[in-house]
Amino acid sequence: MRDKIIVIGSLNYDIILKIPKLPGLGETLPANDVAFSAGGKGANQAVQAAKLGVPTYMAGCVGNDSMGTFLLETARGYGLHTEYIRRTEGHSGMGVVNALEDGGVFACIARGANFEVTREDINNIEPLMEEAGLLILQMEIPQEMNCYAIDKAKAHGCRVLMNAAPAEPIEEEYLKKCDILVVNEVEASFYAGKTVDTMEKAMEEAGKMAARLDNTVIITMGKEGAVVSSQGRTEQIPSMKVQAIETTGAGDSFIGGVGYAVMNGMDIFEACRFATRCSAVTVCRLGAQGSMPTLEELQQGSV
């Protein structure tokens, strides 16, 4: 029974600064508030799937520092299986997020231990690929490791969801091996070689990419919603209108929600509508993992 999700990816210690505006060159700007949270695209997506009740296992690396201890303890607290996360010498990955009052974010990350992921780390979790229905990947670990993981998953008949974020060059043959490709408008522009900044352009490019790659393509467009193209059908999925506080982790919440939904038999269009509800909750709270909804919260119908 393929009832598990595997995530191979990044874990970051996030420092979130609530600021009224971006500082100018040479300016020292007082922040309105600060929060510390566990993050990293990989860990965020894994935590969202785990909070929704899917048995979720993660492989990756954290440093042998206090941040690494915090990241592991936090992940376990959300029900994520962490036995395949390895501790390395040096510092953990870290993110500094500047969160504006309108919910927009500007972030920088330090790769740290995330770029210590090796083939052996992937080999260690490989036996679980026989029991997993989905492998989720991002681009905050070495690209070579992503390609290696894709080949391993396909050899075991495990579906692959690639969140190509942040956008990095990758051989198209590996994008074709992914069952689901998720990008935002910036990443879609990178892979399309042209600007994708409107829903109309996203509809066009999602259809083209899905046809060229022979898979499912999802382009997320922030507060405008998302576009899904699969098997010749392209559809716009509108966002939910909420009062966003801060958007860190919203895209990761969406992907964790898609993972849960496809594992529970929803088609990809239903899955994206469900995932939109997840991210709508996440943007109404501060931080990433702590703000992500549980299945019980969604079932209560508040969103």
DSSP bridge partners of 194: none
Task: Name the token pair of 301.
Answer: 């119908």
What number of other Cβ atoms are within 10 A of residue 26's Cβ? 5
Q: Where are the beta strands (DSSP E) in 1-119?
A: 4-8, 12-19, 33-39, 56-63, 81-88, 93-100, 105-110
pLDDT digits (tens, 9 = 90+) for 252-280: 999 999 999 999 999 999 999 999 999 99
pLDDT of the residue at 144: 97
Please give the single-letter amino acid code of residue 14: D
Q: Name the phi and psi angles at 209, rounded to 5.
A: -65, -45
Active site residues: 252
pLDDT digits (tens, 9 = 90+) for 187-233: 999 999 999 999 999 999 999 999 999 999 999 998 899 999 999 99
pLDDT digits (tens, 9 = 90+) for 108-167: 989 999 999 999 999 999 999 999 999 999 999 999 999 999 999 999 999 999 999 999
d(CA 144, CA 140): 11
pLDDT of the residue at 238: 92
d(CA 207, CA 217): 8
pTM, entire model: 0.94
d(CA 80, CA 57): 6
Average pLDDT value for the chain: 94
- Phi/psi region, residue 222 (left: phi>0; alpha: psi -120 to 50; beta: rest), is left
- Mean pLDDT score, 26-46: 94
d(CA 120, CA 208): 36
Please say whether the beta carbons of 83 and 108 come within 8 A. Answer: no
